[in-house]
A and B are shown apart, each in its own frame.
Chain A
Amino acid sequence: MSEMLLQGTAQGDELRLSGGGAWTAQNARALEALIDGETARREPLKAVAIDMGAVERLDTFGAWLLERLVRGFTARGCETRVTGLKQDYRALMDELHAVKSEQIAAHKPGGPAAAFAAIGRAVASIGTNATSFLNMLGELSVVMLRVLGRPRSFRFTSLVHQLDNVGWRAVPIILLITFLIGCIIAQQGIFHFRRFGADIYVVDMVGILVLRELGVLIVAIMVAGRSGSAYTAELGSMKMREEIDALRTMGFDPVEVLVLPRILALIIGVPILTFLGSMAALYGGGLICWLYGGIDPEVFLQRLKEAITLDHFKVGMIKAPFMALIIGLVACVEGMAVKGSAESLGRQTTASVVESIFLVIVLDGFFAIFFASVGM
């Protein structure tokens, strides 16, 4: 079959090529190999005659390959003639003849330099990210002050709507997860403490761990995954469809209309969720102590009162609004950074969740140092 497509015979310094069959997309692969084979002939050639009389069909693929054949021989200094081409295909050939070959740059995959460039860009992007984060924080503060100056302009309905989404609707899943985490810590504690008869200290461990660290961390991570990603996706798709530009042209500040209610909703919602989550975790811990460790609820509560102080509770609750602020800021910055494509929306949403969880944990570390030095 493929021999039918193109046959060539060289007579002296003249090459006669005759095409045949269908020069179409389906045969393009075979045809390309034949054409490159002919162009690579080693004989010194002066003239090339291409007879296209037997070609039944020609589409853009075939026509381009013919054009490439002609150009290949012309570039070698041969006199090239094409004969027998059907009248119908003349217009197509003329069209392709006009294609400028210098524009055809091969698509080059990046070498090692491209890998270094990617690393460089990634490092530089840490700086740009930090700047845009601080920008958003500054803008948010300005807007907040402005809204305090004229409270009527605050979007109360939007705040309530967001609170419903990120607070109220998150309650069941937060309760369930923190409850399970409380159960697991208590079970592990009892299992290991029992070996040296220190079962009762499991109450201290559960109480302190849950109130100081775990309650707020689990809630923050859940909220980053649940609401932070939603914020990024919402703002990102609004950005993609020029809705944010539309707001701006109508004289609204997107930070005031979209970002402020969202972040405030998180700052109000996360401490409440942290409180609920901590209680659920303590409840789960107490339940396991009773069922698995044989510690009666009265004993558990008695021990809990001795083990924890109000400070432990305060430490957890003080951290909560700051975590909320971090999550909200990261989500909104990433949302605003979305460009036109669907892929970019996915990338920013991923970045939003990863960055906010990372920053939440880093912030938690700083708080640990801070509280240790103020003696809480």
Chain B
Amino acid sequence: MAPNGKANGREVVIEVRGVTVGFGERRVLNEVDLDVYRGEILGFVGGSGAGKSVLMRTIIGLLPKRAGKIKVLGVDLDAVSDEERRTIERRWGVLFQQGALFSSLSVRENLQFPVRENLKLSQRLMDELVVAKLEMVGLDASVCDKFPSELSGGMTKRVALARALALDPEIVFLDEPTSGLDPIGAGEFDNLIATLQRTLGLTVYMVTHDLDSLHTVCDRIAVLADGKVIAAGTMTDMLASQHPWLRAYFHGSRSRTGTAIPAKPTV
């Protein structure tokens, strides 16, 4: 791969090379390579327990790796000072599977927390931005003063997404964003991600199991199996692949091959 972070003329924002992660005796990831390009929505799939979340957590620095190199936005996170690391961390947002909203803070305070800590803004501007962000994720100002325990599952996901977007990041990591949502809610959430990706020019790294999400919003799909990324490409590539795991995954009884693949929203 080119050292300047460009590949196929596109800018690589996350570059994973030879990353190995293990717990005790068990190796979960074995020399994984992966590229994520600027402005794309990458769907990351794999069996349960295959290590999808492990790779995401390794990239954002929550898990230590045994070997390999990870560059985010052109910066090797192991080789920089804590200060520079924090600067990079402010340029990404993470949506955890359970939302991970701070249970003792209201929705407003949850959204203002990263802003308050990093920027010195007036209370008025922060209040206005909370409403703006909530509207962008399809909620309204009435949830402002609710606490996370009072929100439904779908609302929790949306508020958590709004918090991930609080600092206008360039990359968002989504860990199973549609799990636990009904098909209608999941569909709306997919559309929301696609819309936000277009308006804010985000790069989206989405760990998912949802075949519908993969069909409708993902530009590219990467597949993790046996501790390796066994394939990366578009949905068409996946469907055409002869790899047994890919065939089982994309042509299984729950897939929608045979029915027409809906067109991706135009970008």
Contact = CB atoms under 8 A, between A and B. Distances in A.
B227 interface: no
Interface in A76-109: 88, 91-92, 95-96, 98-100, 103-107
Contact of A25 (B104, B131, B140, B168): B168
A65 B142 CA distance: 22
Contact of A29 (B121, B199, B200): B121
Given A24-B168, A105-B141, A64 B129 contact: yes
A99 B124 contact: no
Chain B interface extent, by class? 20 to 34
Contacts of B133: 60
A104 B129 CA distance: 9
Given A25-B168, A60-B200, A95 B124 contact: no
B168 A99 contact: no
Q: Which of A32, A68, A341 has most B Cβ within 10 Å?
A: A341
A196 to B, nearest CB: 58
A349 B20 CA distance: 43
B201 A88 contact: yes
A342 B141 contact: no
A68 B167 CA distance: 19
A61 B141 contact: no
Contacts of B123: 106-107
Interface in B41-96: none
Given A64-B128, A64-B129, A68-B128, A29 B120 contact: yes
Contacts of B128: 64, 68, 104
A106 B130 CA distance: 11
B148 A29 contact: no
Q: Is the interface of B mostly helix, strand, loop or mixed?
A: helix
Nearest to B109: A107
Contact of A64 (B104, B108, B132): B132
Contacts of A105: 127, 141
Nearest to B126: A107
Interface string B111-150: 0000100111111110111011101100011100001111
A37 B5 CA distance: 43
A343 B199 contact: no
A312 interface: no
Nearest to A67: B132
A46 interface: no
Q: Which of A96, A100, A103, A344 has most B Cβ within 10 Å?
A: A103
Contact of B119 (A26, A92, A96, A100): A26
Q: Which of A25, A29, A343 has most B Cβ within 10 Å?
A: A25
A106 B124 contact: yes
A341 B109 CA distance: 14
A53 interface: no
Contacts of B104: 341-344
A103 B140 contact: yes
Given A60-B129, A99-B131, A106-B124, A342 B136 contact: no
A26 B167 CA distance: 10
Nearest to B150: A340
Given A32-B121, A68-B128, A341 B103 contact: yes
A107 B119 CA distance: 18
Nearest to A94: B199
Interface in B160-204: 165, 167-168, 198-201
27 contacts: A24-B168, A25-B118, A25-B119, A26-B119, A29-B120, A29-B122, A32-B125, A60-B132, A60-B165, A61-B121, A61-B129, A64-B125, A64-B128, A65-B125, A68-B128, A91-B199, A99-B131, A99-B135, A100-B135, A100-B141, A103-B141, A106-B127, A340-B103, A340-B148, A341-B104, A341-B148, A341-B149
Given A28-B121, A60-B129, A64-B128, 4 more contacts: A99-B132, A100-B141, A107-B108, A341-B147
